Amino acid sequence: MRYRKLSLPVLFLFAIFSPLYSETHIAKLDRVVDGDTITLATNKRVRLIGIDCPEKHPSDKLIRALEKTNAAYNDMSALADRSTDMARGMYPSSGGDILLEFDEERRDQYERLLAYVYVPYEKMFSGAPAELIKIENGKKWTMVNGELIRRGYARAYVIPPNLKYARSLQSLEWESRRLNRGLWRDPLFRKLYKR
């Protein structure tokens, strides 16, 4: 009986101090699935919070995108490939460290982790605005979610309750659209994400 009384407090303490329950967590990257999804070395999938990239894999979302734009699958697939390639170029190689920052909701309906994903700061991020930079564990990190939007390879996609960076991401999208960065130069991308 005594063990049952202790088990609940112990579980509570474990949940509080477990890395997945803290605000940030350093993890190892396995691979980039597409522009807005990665897999960790632990085989957990992570969906980047606050962004949306063109879809390539068969899904209801892809069917809606094709219907909305009247585009051919090959054209939509090419957009998705460009977005994914940009994302791949931002991440360290497989096994490299990334930083996950969580918001209010930590998992989606598909049980993927929901996170703002940061990579070690490098010269390629020298133009990144301050709101995309984080200092953690003595290292400088850059938020991939925001960089993809800023460079024009994703759009802001805000879903409550995960609103920590909503204004910043929306502002980055507005600037990226206005300056025709990245995929915003492509009429299909503009049509897909027409407001």
Domain limits, the chain: 22-192
Give this prediction's pTM: 0.86
- pLDDT tens-digit profile, the chain (195 residues): 444 444 444 434 344 344 444 589 999 999 999 999 999 999 999 999 999 999 888 888 888 888 999 999 999 999 999 999 999 999 999 989 999 999 999 999 999 999 999 999 986 777 888 899 999 989 999 999 999 999 999 999 999 999 999 999 999 999 999 999 999 999 999 999 987
What local confidence, expressed as pLDDT, does residue 126 receive? 78
Report the 3 state secondary structure along the chain.
CHHHHHHHHHHHHHHHHCHHHCCEEEEEEEEEEECCEEEECCCCEEEECCEECCCCCCCHHHHHHHHHHCCCHHHHHHHHHHHHHHHHHHCCCCCCEEEEECCCCCECCCCCEEEEEEEECCHHHCCCCHHHEEEECCEEEEEHHHHHHHCCCCEECCCCCCCCCHHHHHHHHHHHHHCCCHHHHCHHHHHHCCC
Residue 85 zone, left/alpha/beta (φ > 0; ψ -120 to 50; rest): alpha
Q: Tokens for 174, please give them.
A: 């507005």
CATH code of the region 22-192: 2.40.50.90
What local confidence, expressed as pLDDT, does residue 122 receive? 82
d(CA 72, CA 49): 28
What local confidence, expressed as pLDDT, does residue 139 receive? 92
Distances (CA, A) of 148 to 3, 10, 51, 130, 186: 49, 40, 8, 15, 16
What local confidence, expressed as pLDDT, does residue 137 receive? 85
